Amino acid sequence: MSKEDLFAKIKENLVETLELDADNVTLETNIVEDLGADSISLMEFTLALEDEFGIEISDEDAEHILTLGQVVDYVSNKIN
């Protein structure tokens, strides 16, 4: 799966989980600072990614992933 396709799927997931306007979400978007995600939203997003891509994201790894671009890179490394 290309990074562009991966970004599209992850963005769609994030937009649904946080009930956002998709136009406001880019690779540089900081999930907490720019979108105001709280710990429950982050947990829901993480669980949705795990289900979608069949991966496991440790709490420690999740703490260091701040932007959507970092999410794309992380998932890409896990599935490839």
The residues assigned a catalytic role are: 38
For residue 30, the cross-strand partners are 67
Q: Can you list the alpha helix ranges (DSSP code H) found in 1-80?
A: 3-18, 39-53, 59-64, 68-79
For residue 33 the two structure tokens come to 């600072």
Residue showing tokens 């260091």: 64
